[in-house]
Amino acid sequence: MAFERPSLQDLTDRILADFKSKMGNTSTFLRRSVVRIFGQVMAGAVHLLYGYLEYKADQLFATTADGDNLEFLAAEYGLSRRQAAKATGSVRAIGTIGTVIPIATILQNTDEVQYATDAAGTVGPYGYVDLALTAVDAGENANEEEGVSLEFVSPISGVDSEATILTAGIDSGSDTESDDDFRARILYRKRYPPHGGNQFDYVAWALEIPGVTRAWCLPAYAGAGTVGLGFVRDGDIDPVPSDTRRQEVYEYLLGHTDPYSGKTVGVPVGAQPGLEVLDVSDLFLNPDISVYPFTEAVKAKVQAELEDLIKREGGPGETVYVSHISEAISAAAGEERHRVNSPVSDVTASYMQFHKLGTINWRPY
């Protein structure tokens, strides 16, 4: 029989009953008697101790632990929380030919997120200069789309007050790994212990990289001795990784080091030529849904459930089933009934695609 934590009232009643038995008194204590007050105070203290013990019990397991305790559990497996990373990109500044923009010049967006130039730049013969920059603070909120204007915090004579973000935008900024994501990695490591480079190892290694939120491994992707690894960065403006990010993952996998032995174990001996980090693309799901009640609150809950479903079940070579789409909609808080008008058949991604929720066409039920 499982232990059941006693309530505060249960503890109070037990303590008062003990007082009565020791005092040989069978009458009821007065409401404001010293004995009753003592009993209530003691019950409150004991109740707190029970609460602490319950909390400590939760910290023994990855499914219920939180904060620093998750990190203690992860350390036993050589895992550490992904740290926040700074966003990087380039901007184009317009100005008078020959004007110098110093290194560490600060620009900011409309939300006052700041970026510093990585090197000095000089306005060239065509009246502009391209500047590489890095966010001052780490985090996803520094990611910006191509074409957005950044403003110089301190105006520079001979240079326009704003610079425009170039192609590919400013990306790769990521937040510190959340407890839930870290917990999922710890549980993945416990359920799929290392096997010297099997399918699950590649996924675990890729997810160690800041910014990588989902990864899929395709064994024998192009025949015996080959491995395909696809991944996305959900925190970026565009979750599809650029060539630069794919190269970073490729190099990380080749140089992955065992936390205990210090040996490079990223790719089994002789397998390097067979490793390919896939250039995946979006496979949009644009469902047509009739739902009741037809309110913004219910639609928001349905969308959140569908996004969670796709995150769990979508990916290269995977299938998102219509029955699971319907099940996810039913799980939305407040939904009473619905009908999935489309898709009418299961949606399977190729090995070069991953599922992504596109535009939902809403209809009243």
User: So what's the pLDDT on residue 227?
Assistant: 85
What tens digit of pLDDT does each residue of 5-49 get? 889 999 888 888 888 887 776 666 666 778 888 888 898 999 999
User: So what's the pLDDT on residue 27?
Assistant: 64
Distance, in Å, from the CA atom of 308 to the CA atom of 168, rounded to the nearest integer, reads 27
Enter the CATH code of domain 88-165.
Answer: 2.40.30
Query: Which residues lie below 8 Å from residue 311, measured CB to CB, with a gap of 6+?
Result: 214, 234
**Rounded alpha-carbon distances, angstroms, from residue 169 to 92, 276, 307:** 11, 25, 24
**Rounded alpha-carbon distances, angstroms, from residue 104 to 133, 298, 320:** 8, 47, 47
User: Please, which pLDDT band fits residue 269 given cuts at 50, 70 and 90?
Assistant: very low
User: Please, which pLDDT band fits residue 173 given cuts at 50, 70 and 90?
Assistant: very high
Kindly state the percentage of the chain with pLDDT values over 90.
64
**Does pLDDT of 264 surpass 70?**
no
What tens digit of pLDDT does each residue of 139-155 get? 999 999 999 999 999 99
CB 142 within 8 A of CB 115: yes
The upper half-sphere exposure of residue 362, i.e. CA atoms within 13 Å in the direction of its Cβ, equals 14
Return the CATH architecture of domain 192-277. Answer: 2-Layer Sandwich (3.30)
Q: What does the mean pLDDT of the chain come to?
A: 89
- Which one has a higher pLDDT value, 259 or 78? 78
Distance, in Å, from the CA atom of 133 to the CA atom of 234, rounded to the nearest integer, reads 22
**Rounded alpha-carbon distances, angstroms, from residue 311 to 130, 231, 260:** 37, 12, 32
Q: How far apart are the first and last CA of the chain?
A: 47
Distance, in Å, from the CA atom of 316 to the CA atom of 210, rounded to the nearest integer, reads 21
**Does pLDDT of 258 surpass 80?**
no
What tens digit of pLDDT does each residue of 331-350 get? 999 999 999 999 999 999 99
User: So what's the pLDDT on residue 270?
Assistant: 44
Kindly state the percentage of the chain with pLDDT values over 70.
93
Q: What ranges do the domains of the chain cover?
A: 8-58, 88-165, 192-277, 281-364
User: So what's the pLDDT on residue 193?
Assistant: 87
For the residues 265-293, what does the mean pLDDT come to? 80
Provide the edge-to-edge strand list for the sheet that holds 288-292: 337-342, 288-292, 361-364
For residue 309, the one-letter residue type is L
**Does pLDDT of 267 surpass 60?**
no
Query: Which residues lie below 8 Å from residue 267, measured CB to CB, with a gap of 6+?
Result: 197, 227, 253, 254, 256, 275
**pTM of the complete model:** 0.74
Tell me the DSSP string of 308-323. HHHHHH-STT-EE-HH
What tens digit of pLDDT does each residue of 96-135 get? 999 999 999 999 999 999 999 999 999 999 999 999 999 9
What tens digit of pLDDT does each residue of 205-220 get? 899 999 999 999 988 8
Q: Is 195 helix (H, G, I), strand (E, B) or coil?
A: coil
What tens digit of pLDDT does each residue of 295-331 get? 999 999 999 999 999 989 999 989 999 999 999 999 9
Distance, in Å, from the CA atom of 228 to the CA atom of 226, rounded to the nearest integer, reads 7
User: Please, which pLDDT band fits residue 1 given cuts at 50, 70 and 90?
Assistant: low
User: Please, which pLDDT band fits residue 167 given cuts at 50, 70 and 90?
Assistant: confident
CB 150 within 8 A of CB 115: yes
Distance, in Å, from the CA atom of 202 to the CA atom of 215, rounded to the nearest integer, reads 8
**Rounded alpha-carbon distances, angstroms, from residue 153 to 75, 87, 105, 113, 161:** 42, 18, 8, 11, 9
User: So what's the pLDDT on residue 235?
Assistant: 85
